[in-house]
Amino acid sequence: MRKILVPVDFSKQSEFASKVANKIAKKSGSTIYLLHLIELPSGATDMGSGSRFSIPESMLYLRKIKLKIVKFKERLFSKNVHIEHIIKLQNPYEGILKYAEKLEVDLIIMGSKGHSNFEEILIGSNTEKVVRSSKTPVLVVKRDVATFKLKELVFASNFKEDNKLAFNKFLSFANQFKSKIHLLKVNTPHDFESTHKSKEQITKFISEFTLSNHSINIYNDLSVEKGILNFSKEKNADLIALSTHGRSGLSHLFNGSISKNLSKSALKPMLTFKI
């Protein structure tokens, strides 16, 4: 991993994302790009006569933002981590995708407000829009993870063919940190499958990949999302990896709907890959 993009709006959530980025960069030697995007009101980019925003006022504002991001960098990142910062006038969602592609980053790390519902972790925000559209893997951090590690990773999936590309990207990430991978398929009453059949499917799915430190797990629960979170809690997982269809974010993670009403305190950082 060479490059990590961290969108920054100076909120607590972007601080949480920055702390995780710092820890990953220290282990991987990655360069971090802090991206602050300013979405000005209509007419704000018109600096001619008649504009409510004069050139001196705009320049002063940009200088203040630059000073703020420098202080942000000094406060949250280690001195031995290479940081670049970018300040642009652009819609946040469009800007994040644009600079992720332009810089050819390997990972985007974003904060989330952390709603109590699993499906709403990313829904209704720029984060959710980026997850739906980004070709680059997106790591979503919704709370302060003081002791963030990358030792125990959960890859939750239905292990169908269209998840293989996402899994390959996930392996590249996990192998870099020598993580233990817990492959997880959740069985529910409404979509029941025997343990034997599920294990056969996972074994066939991973047969073309090289895995060393891993486990195969079939977990029974009332819903897919409860199974993911309960299993991850039992394993004390550091991160949950998921693949998502671009058409509607998390609502089609497993070709079906995902229930709500989950405790936000149980949610882990989530690494998402677009199928």
Residue 90 burial by CB count (10 A; 0-12/13-18/19+): exposed, middle or buried? middle
CB-side neighbour CA atoms (13 Å) of 147: 4
- Position 239 scores a pLDDT of 93
Task: Scan for tokens 């074994």, then name that residue.
Answer: 203
- Please give the CATH number for the structural domain made up of 143-275: 3.40.50.620
In CATH terms, are 1-111 and 143-275 the same topology? yes
Question: Averaged in consecutive runs of 10 residues, what is the pLDDT profile of the chain (275 residues)?
Answer: 94 93 94 89 46 66 89 94 92 92 96 56 63 89 84 94 92 92 94 93 96 95 88 93 65 38 54 85
Q: Angle between the 12-28 and 55-76 helix axes, to the nearest 10 degrees?
A: 60
- Position 58 scores a pLDDT of 72
Domain ranges of the chain: 1-111, 143-275
- Position 112 scores a pLDDT of 80
What's domain 1-111's architecture? 3-Layer(aba) Sandwich (3.40)
Encode burial over 25-57: b for 16+ CB neighbours within 10 A, e otherwise: beebebbbbbbbbbeeeeeeeeeeeeeeeeeee
Beta-bridged to residue 157, according to DSSP, are: none
Report the distance separating Cα 8 and Cα 5, nearest Å: 10
- Position 260 scores a pLDDT of 31
